[in-house]
């Protein structure tokens, strides 16, 4: 059983720990949560596109359980993509991000590319409704090209060098 002095020491240690943790929490850059969330959602989109492409390679793709839910993920995410890049969420935030400053310097072009992707993603479901694997493969390829167009211009080449996925 702890003595009174032991309890005091324990309480003191807990106080010091909680104070130091609050300092750490306060020290975290304000955009870190947003950037992390943005990266997670972009990974979700990459994973969804991969799941669709992988399924289409099979002789009899599972439209209802694999392809359509992943199209939903792409549509859900892409609809908000342009809101994930508020000013201040670039490298100047102090958070590790591969988003290049051009996103904010050439905002019109970035928005144009983002909207082009939304247009192509929106075509996936009507094409999938036809259950035509070849046509959907073509459309998912077009979606991938819209991703690449943005990545080529607005993502740091360091992304390929570092293992952050």
Partner 1 sequence: MSVSDTIGKGNSASQESAGPLKVWDLPTRLMHWVLVASIAICWWTGLHNQLEYHLYSGYVALWIVLMRLYWGVVGSSTARFSNFVRGPKAMLDYARTLHRRDTPHVHGHNALGAISVLLMLGMVLAVVVLGLFAVDVDGLYSGPLSTYVSFHDGRHLAHLHYRVFNYLLVVIALHLLAVVFYYVHKRHNLVFPMISGHRKAVADIQDEMQVAPLWRFLAGAVVVSAFVWAVTTSFYF
Pick between residue 5 and residue 60 the one whose CB is nearest to partner 1: 60
Contact characters 58-97, partner 1, x per CB under 8 A: xx--------------------------------------
Q: Does 131 bind partner 1 (CB under 8 A)?
A: no
Residue 128 burial by Cβ neighbours in a 10 Å radius (0-12, 13-18, 19+) = buried
Placement of tokens 């596109």 in the chain: 49
Q: Work out the burial of residue 74: count CB atoms within 10 Å of its CB; fewer than 13 is exposed, 13-18 middle, 19 or more buried.
A: buried
**Which tokens hold the place of 155?**
């993502």
Contact at 8 Å (CB) between 74 and 121? Answer: yes
Site stretch for partner 1 (CB under 8 A), options 13-21, 75-83, 121-129, 156-164: 156-164
Using CB under 8 A as the binding rule, whether residue 152 contacts partner 1 is answered as yes
Judged by CB under 8 A, the residue of 104, 151, 153, 156 near partner 1 is 151
CB nearer to partner 1: give 92 or 158: 158
With CA atoms as reference, report the closest residue to 89 among 152, 29, 157. Answer: 29
> Who contacts 73 (Cβ-Cβ below 8 Å, separation ≥6)?
44, 45, 47, 48
Q: Is 134 in the site for partner 1 (CB under 8 A)?
A: no
- What is the nearest approach in angstroms of partner 1 to the Cβ of residue 140? 7
CB of residue 75 to partner 1, shortest distance in Å: 15
Please report, as ranges, the residues that interact with partner 1 according to CB under 8 A: 43, 46-47, 49-54, 57-59, 140-141, 143-145, 147-148, 151-152, 160-163, 165
């Amino acid at each position: 059983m702890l003595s009174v002095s032991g309890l005091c020491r324990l309480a003191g240690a807990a106080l010091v720990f909680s104070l130091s943790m609050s300092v750490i929490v306060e020290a975290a850059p304000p955009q870190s949560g947003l950037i992390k969330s943005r990266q997670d959602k972009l990974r979700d989109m990459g994973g969804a596109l991969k799941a669709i492409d992988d399924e289409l390679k099979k002789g009899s793709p599972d439209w209802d359980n694999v392809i359509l839910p992943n199209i939903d993920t792409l549509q859900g995410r892409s609809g908000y993509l342009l809101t994930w890049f508020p000013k201040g969420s670039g490298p100047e935030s102090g958070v590790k991000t591969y988003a290049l400053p051009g996103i904010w310097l050439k905002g019109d072009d970035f928005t144009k590319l983002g909207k082009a992707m939304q247009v192509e993603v929106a075509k996936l479901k009507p094409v999938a409704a036809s259950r035509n694997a070849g046509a959907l493969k073509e459309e998912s390829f077009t979606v991938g090209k819209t991703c690449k167009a943005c990545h080529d211009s607005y993502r740091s080449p360091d992304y390929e060098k570092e293992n952050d996925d």
